[in-house]
Chains A and B, each alone.
Chain A
Amino acid sequence: MSAPEPEPEPAPEPAPGASPGTPVGRRLVLGLIGLGAVGVATGAGIQRWFDDNLGPIAAKDSTGLASLLPLGNFRLYTVTGEFPSVANAKYRLRVEGLIEAPTVLTLADLEAMPATDLTRDFQCVTGWRVADVEWRGVLLRDLLDLVGVSPTAKAVRFTSFDGEYTESLTLEQARRDDVLVAYRLQGAPIGADHGGPVRLYVAPMYGYKSCKWLDTIELTDRVMVGYWERRGYDPDAWVGRSNGRTDSAT
């Protein structure tokens, strides 16, 4: 804007709708809002279909471009300000509580134990699902047998080295053959973003049970509910049978 100029005489504003042509713009806006409403009502089913049918295709895309689309991708959550990381050589897993003797394991100790591979869908309680995720780790059951669980123990408590996150399982759940102390994901060491070097993987339950950045396994005489369970999530987090959700089981 340069020199000050006299205000033009205000011409009367035309009445709304007086302009020529058809209100295509308005129809587009209303159409999009309608589309959005339909999407909110039916999106859960459509997303499931997308993840099941397009997710596996996107996962094979080597350009990485497909990861820009909201299809069967992990979303990386942390409850603290960062993704904590620790060097593999410095990693220690503490097992304590109601056991014969407190034990500290290195990553090498875990890798030397019999390994179990599981390939399952990963389901988040917020709705996203990643198809056919490959995990490798030690059965939590084997670890518990190694340290000798006291007969008074009824539950297992997990603590993350992020300093905040906790989780829990009943002893019966912890002894299932699809619960791993995992150290490999999709054929590679677990990165800090996915909770590595060692994390819990509870295959039949929603993702929040699979405590990332596993620091301590503690045997307790009762279930001590974890971070999200104190915030309203179900402690028994079976996929499709908890948290009011109906996802197909993993």
Chain B
Amino acid sequence: MSSTLASPDAPARRVRFDASERVVHWLTAVVALGLIATGAVMYLGPLATLVGYRGVVRVVHFWCGVAVPVPVVLGLLAPRRGRALRADARELERFDARDRAWLRRRNRATVGAGKFNAGQKLNSALLLGSGAVLFATGLMLHFAVHVPVDLRTGATFVHDWFALGVALLVTGHIAFALRDPGALGGMLTGSVTETWARRHHPRWAGPPPPPPR
């Protein structure tokens, strides 16, 4: 796909996420929201009373937990379709001096973000690490009969607090997306306008348009 779609009236657009990335994102989103919903039902007394069926909710939560890493892992492993996802993962992992300046809120406008700003990089790392911890402690809780009691209590403790952290991260992620239709559109349609890209991700965006003649 060329990076700008020529059309006389529509503003120039630039590809941000390819089809596989968007499929991975939305599959993960659905399963993760299932995890948060079923987790909340087990964790919050009033919701537990309202819904009941703790046994069923628990099974759904467990299988959502098993499923949640599958789209990302398959996407990263896919030889050809996973290229864009792997490139973005590499980009998300690395912080340079400009990211550090961005985080310190120094000259954000002039520093300018690449394809991802430092906040997005931070969010992805925190989500991945917390997700791994929740996955491991979730398995310990599911197979609790094989786990010594003190480690089981420790796993409950860690699962509770990390889940709270992830719920906050996901809330923030959704809030930022809803506040910025351009960003949300990027994940819905796969492309963003060049104007949006230059404003939010100048080091990733194309050069400014030639001045009108």
Residues of A whose CB lies within 8 Å of any CB of B are 1-3, 5, 8, 10, 13-14, 16, 19-26, 28-33, 35-36, 39-44, 46-47, 67-70, 73-79, 81-83, 126-128, 192-193, 232, 243-246
Contact = CB atoms under 8 A, between A and B. Distances in A.
B136 interface: yes
User: What 3 A-B pairs are tightest by C-beta distance, nearest first?
Assistant: A32-B129, A43-B154, A43-B157
Contacts of B117: none
Nearest to B157: A43
A70 B128 CA distance: 22
A46 B151 CA distance: 12
A193 B48 contact: yes
Contacts of A39: 133, 154, 157-158, 161
A43 B153 contact: yes
B171 to A, nearest CB: 12
Interface residues of B, number: 60
Contacts of B110: none
B152 interface: yes
B1 A21 contact: no
| Binding site secondary structure of chain A | loop
Interface of B: 1-2, 5, 19, 42-45, 48-49, 52-56, 80, 83, 86-87, 90-97, 99, 121-122, 124-126, 128-130, 132-133, 136-137, 140, 145, 148-158, 160-162, 164, 189-191
Contact of A243 (B44, B80, B149, B189): B149
A25 B158 contact: no
B55 A24 contact: no
A81 B56 contact: yes
A32 B126 contact: yes
Contacts of B130: 32
Contact of B1 (A5, A25, A33, A44): A5
Contact of A25 (B49, B83, B121): B121
Contacts of B150: 44, 245-246
A70 B48 contact: no
Contacts of B45: 67, 73-76, 193
B116 to A, nearest CB: 10
Nearest to A26: B93
Contact of A40 (B126, B151, B164, B191): B151
5 contacts: A3-B5, A24-B125, A40-B151, A75-B48, A245-B149
Contact of A244 (B90, B140, B148): B148
B7 to A, nearest CB: 9
A204 B130 CA distance: 37
A33 B95 CA distance: 20
B94 A21 contact: yes
